Structure 1
Amino acid sequence: MNLFQRTAGKAAAALILAGALPGVAHSATPIPIEDHTVTVNGLKLHYLQAGHGDGMPVILLHGYTETSHMWVPLMEQLADRRVVIAPDLPGAGTSSIPASGYEKKAMAQDIHAMVQQLGYHKVKIVGHDIGLMVSYAYAAQYPDEVDTVTLMDAFLPGVGDWQKVWLLRDKWHYNFYGETPLKLVQGRERIYFEHFWNDFAADPKHSLSEADREYYTHAYAQPGRMRAGFEYFHAFTQDAQDFSEFAKTPLTMPMLVLTGEKASGTFLIDQARLVDTHVQGHIIKGSGHWLLSEAPDQTIPLIVNFTNTAGSH
């Protein structure tokens, strides 16, 4: 069902945001971005959708402190020849908040069920942060149904010498869950998120915009959302076991890995080469973790070119 008319204000604001990026070509007529929901595995998943055409569909999976909204600047660039879908992960945005199932293997199964219900049998998949973990878990479980994979700045639990990343910076938030942490951040969600948005950026003044910070703070301040976000990290122990098992069977589809020069550097690229035989790695110069916000002029063309040229298209 097309819900665009009901959400015209939200979509219009999103399109304005997409058009505000300097140095990135845009179509003369903006491509509408629509809101949809689908129910799979007992969960209601909200997603943004744009585009049409014969090109292979693209699935965009967001990371922590963000929602599907983060992909708006990229969606118009990819949607000129294909359907582009950006879901809110379980627990985030306006998707359902499950009591369990935050392991990335399980979350990938939920996204796969969504893709299947929408009638798509093979897709290209792009993920940032927690979303890259879900993207890898999707590709590892359904390799014949994934044409290309793009992973954007974070790491793969359980792959290679992954424990080093826990000690590089701020391991504390991986273990920050439960009733006391929830009480500490209630009403202070933005203070908590500013740590990530500022400290994980190359320059806090060129990280997420003020409008985006307000948007995500409001989204995660809704009942149950912070608890769900904490569970993404709580699941890392199981994720590491799952990913270590996945890595025993290397993937063979083209994989693009984009990392921030001031963030994961070569770490994720090196990990990717342990799990896939066909990896292109690019370090985004001068950027921290928030690649689409900090360096859109480098990041977006790389994703668009890879999506349009690698794999089966």
Structure 2
Amino acid sequence: MKTLLRFFQRAALGGLALFAATVAHAANVDIQSHTANVNGVTLHYLQAGHGDGTPVVLLHGYAETSRMWQPLMRELAGRHVVIAPDLRGAGGSSKPAGGYDKKTMAQDIHALVQSLGYPKVKIVGHDIGLMVAYAYAAQYPDQVESVVLMDAFLPGVGDWTKVWLLRDLWHFHFYGETPLKLVDGRERIYFEHFWNDFAADRTHSVPEADRQFYAAQYAQPGGMRAGFEYFRNFEQDAKDFAGLAQTPLHMPMLVLSGEKAGGQFLIDQGRMVDTNVEGVIIKGSGHWLMEEAPGQTIPALVGFLDR
């Protein structure tokens, strides 16, 4: 009996040591900031990691930047090179007058990947980023090993106009001179609607330090106008995606959707565009999966991307 007890004690200590080592490794991951001039724009991107795993590209959504991916980057960095760009119009990337349809934005990311010398990637997108991720996979299927779509929707695919996130249809038409004047200096107030009302619990959503950072990033000259252009281009995206969906994808696709947000809808859309889809509902979460439910979201992502 004493021998068995000693065995379990050693096993427990070994598990704690492994956990501590993993935490320490994640804390010490070096995430570097870079810029690249590609496809007629300057893209800011974060990069970390090394290893033999296929490089992973992480694409953020609206009201956030590449910063949202740092916890996941630390988890993947021991096995993959991980690249998290700021999309055209966001964060440290340039904010041109046009090019905010998701096919063009995917071409930005593809040009960045090509400039870094990676022939094939795994690509992950949340919110607007999932639209760009799908457009990337659909335009360059031979260069994508797998794709992850996280809580939003694909314009133009199935009965997309009835999706949960479209309950606030007003903001998809909120662009132009007057809206820009209304939000000038009030960016934080505007974004609070998304961070609070798209969460399952507004008190457990995007953290305060991140809110301050994102509001300041979008308050840069041209930042709010560029963000509005993401939505203004949905009509064009719907036409483009309806055409792209005529050629189904076959690479593994993981769809993560918040129980209190997109739910089953995005999973069903995924199965309309890809023949190899795994769908996971993130229990109790709203739209902000990385912030609301990291304990479910990050392990699901790591498990899929490490396959």
The counterpart of 1:274, out of the listed 261, 272, 275, is 272
CA distance in 1, matches of 2:169, 2:129: 19
User: Residue 26 of structure 1 aligns with which residue?
Assistant: 23
Contact 1:24–1:297 (CA<8 Å) still a contact in 2?
no
CA distance in 2, matches of 1:159, 1:57: 28
- How many pairs align? 288
CA change 1:156–1:293 in 2 (3 A) is same
TM-aligned CA deviation for residue 139 of structure 1 = 0.1
The counterpart of 2:211, out of the listed 201, 210, 213, is 213
Matched, 1:56 2:50: no
SS at match of 1:50: strand
Contact 1:26–1:77 (CA<8 Å) still a contact in 2?
no
The counterpart of 1:172, out of the listed 164, 170, 173, is 170
TM-aligned CA deviation for residue 55 of structure 1 = 1.0
TM-aligned CA deviation for residue 26 of structure 1 = 2.7
Deviations 1:161-205 (A, max 9, x none): 011127851100000000100000001101100000000000000
Contact 2:164–2:262 (CA<8 Å) still a contact in 1?
no
CA distance in 1, matches of 2:138, 2:190: 33
CA distance in 2, matches of 1:192, 1:24: 41
CA distance in 1, matches of 2:23, 2:221: 37
Question: What residue identity is the alignment partner of 1:235?
Answer: N
Structural mapping, 1:157-306, within 5 Å: 157-165=155-163, 168-306=166-304
TM-aligned CA deviation for residue 98 of structure 1 = 1.3
TM-aligned CA deviation for residue 25 of structure 1 = 4.9
Deviations 1:122-159 (A, max 9, x none): 00000000000000000000000000000000000000
TM-aligned CA deviation for residue 77 of structure 1 = 0.5
Contact 2:165–2:262 (CA<8 Å) still a contact in 1?
no
CA change 1:296–1:237 in 2 (3 A) is same
Structural mapping, 1:93-112, within 5 Å: 93-112=91-110
CA change 1:125–1:24 in 2 (3 A) is farther
CA distance in 2, matches of 1:168, 1:111: 26
Structural mapping, 1:55-74, within 5 Å: 55-74=53-72
SS at match of 1:64: coil
Question: What residue identity is the alignment partner of 1:30?
Answer: N
TM-aligned CA deviation for residue 302 of structure 1 = 0.2
TM-aligned CA deviation for residue 31 of structure 1 = 1.1
Contact 2:254–2:278 (CA<8 Å) still a contact in 1?
yes
CA change 1:24–1:112 in 2 (3 A) is farther
CA distance in 1, matches of 2:285, 2:20: 17
Deviations 1:41-74 (A, max 9, x none): 2211000000011211000000000000000011
Contact 1:220–1:226 (CA<8 Å) still a contact in 2?
yes
* TM norm structure 1: 0.90
User: Residue 305 of structure 2 aligns with which residue?
Assistant: 307
Question: What residue identity is the alignment partner of 2:140?
Answer: Y
SS at match of 1:138: helix
CA distance in 1, matches of 2:165, 2:58: 29
Identity of aligned residues (%): 72
The alignment yields a C-alpha RMSD, in angstroms, of 1.5
SS at match of 1:154: coil
Contact 1:57–1:83 (CA<8 Å) still a contact in 2?
yes
Gaps of 5+ in 1: 1-21
Question: What residue identity is the alignment partner of 2:222?
Answer: G
More helix by share: 2
Question: What residue identity is the alignment partner of 2:110?
Answer: H
